């Protein structure tokens, strides 16, 4: 049996304590929508407070430093986010890669550090529009993942991959179903090469991200090997985020 669909809200640089009511509403509803695993990654400043609101959903961070402590003004380590209540961290998001010039090597170092601190990790990848137009999308994404994914031990049990075409993030544009299926199959083949056959029920989930909305969630989640969604803009209100969780529930029921 495959794992439950995993729907993760990435709040990015949004949210003050006024948004805790949204977190509470998402958590309460997720207790009734148990066919789907629900998680939210608020900004660092809200991790502790959202964790206190959450009885069912997981709380994560959107980044962490690769080091464990020291003279790194403004940075936050994996063990610090774990201490604040996070159980996972999103790493290598294209906004981090672009705005903070994060390389694959840096993402891998962060992933190793997060695993060491006991966190689960969601490693992001995705091609630009120019890469796709040049027919290089699969090469770019698999090369990013080869450089960014943690290896060794039982890391696969704590790993999720998020495929997010850069041109689909926050734009309202979504990749064609056939392109998503093709990319997820290529990522699956790479995961098999790196980690071998998974134990039953512990297959690494591959999320799709980029303009996922309540209106398109069930469709996207019914594509082969789409194990969930990483959601930005539509995760900021309980109403729209729960619309996506409902869509995932529908897709799960249809597949059963």
Write out the residues near ligand PGA by the rule CB under 6 A.
10, 164, 169-170, 209-212, 230-234
Residue placing its CB nearer to ligand PGA in the complex, 136 or 213: 213
Choose, from 37, 95, 164, 252, the residue flagged as catalytic. 164
Beta-carbon contacts of residue 88 (< 8 Å; ≥ 6 apart):
39, 41, 58, 60, 61, 119, 120, 121, 122, 160
* Residue burial 62-101, b: 16+ Cβ < 10 Å; e: rest: bbbbbeeeeeeeeebbbbbbbebbbbbbbbbbbbbbeeee
CB of 146 to ligand PGA, least distance (A): 21
- 208: its two tokens: 């799709």
| Known catalytic residue at 100 | no
Q: Which residue is nearest to ligand PGA (CB)?
A: 232
Alpha-helical segments (H) within 117-237:
129-133, 137-148, 177-195, 214-221
**Closer CB to ligand PGA, residue 57 or residue 195?**
57
Do the Cβ atoms of 29 and 239 come closer than 8 Å? no
Q: Which of 37, 93, 102, 184 is catalytic?
A: 93
**CB nearer to ligand PGA: pick between 195 and 244:** 244
Decide whether 50 or 235 has the Cβ nearer to ligand PGA. Answer: 235
Examine the residue annotation and report whether 93 is marked as an active-site residue of this protein. Answer: yes
Identify the helix (H) or strand (E) that includes residue 238: helix 238-255
Closest CB 162 distance from ligand PGA, rounded Å: 7
Closest CB 69 distance from ligand PGA, rounded Å? 28
Which of residues 131 and 164 has its CB atom nearest to ligand PGA in the complex? 164
**To the nearest whole angstrom, how small is the minimum distance from the Cβ of residue 137 to ligand PGA?**
17
E-assigned strand segments in 32-146 = 37-41, 58-61, 88-91, 120-125
Q: How far apart are CB 217 and ligand PGA at their closest, in Å? A: 11
The encoded tokens of residue 165 equal 């075409």
Q: How far is CA 65 from CA 78, 108, 117, 195, 206, in A?
A: 7, 11, 12, 25, 24
Q: Which residues are catalytic?
A: 93, 164
């Amino acid at each position: 049996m495959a794992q439950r669909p995993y729907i993760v809200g990435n709040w990015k640089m949004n949210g003050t304590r006024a948004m805790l009511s949204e977190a509470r509403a998402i958590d309460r509803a997720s207790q009734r929508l148990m066919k789907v695993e629900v998680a939210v990654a608020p900004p660092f400043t809200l991790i502790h407070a959202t964790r206190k609101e959450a009885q069912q959903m997981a709380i994560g961070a959107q980044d962490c430093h690769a080091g464990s402590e020291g003279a790194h003004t403004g940075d936050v380590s994996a063990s610090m986010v774990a201490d604040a209540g996070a159980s996972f961290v999103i790493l290598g998001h294209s906004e981090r890669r672009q705005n903070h010039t994060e390389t694959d090597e840096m993402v891998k170092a962060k992933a190793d550090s997060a695993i060491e601190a006991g966190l689960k990790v969601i490693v992001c990848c995705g091609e630009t529009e120019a890469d796709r137009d040049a027919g290089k999308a699969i090469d770019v994404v698999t090369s990013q993942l080869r450089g960014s994914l943690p290896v060794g031990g039982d890391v696969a049990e704590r790993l999720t991959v998020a495929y997010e075409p850069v041109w689909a993030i926050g734009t309202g544009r979504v990749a064609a179903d056939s392109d998503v299926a093709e990319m997820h199959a290529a990522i699956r083949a790479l995961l098999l090469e790196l980690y071998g056959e998974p134990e039953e029920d512990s297959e690494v989930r591959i999320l799709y991200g980029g303009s996922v909305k309540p209106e398109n969630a069930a469709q996207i989640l019914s594509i082969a090997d789409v194990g969930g969604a990483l959601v930005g803009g539509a995760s900021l209100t309980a109403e729209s985020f729960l619309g996506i969780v409902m869509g995932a529930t529908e897709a799960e029921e249809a597949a059963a």
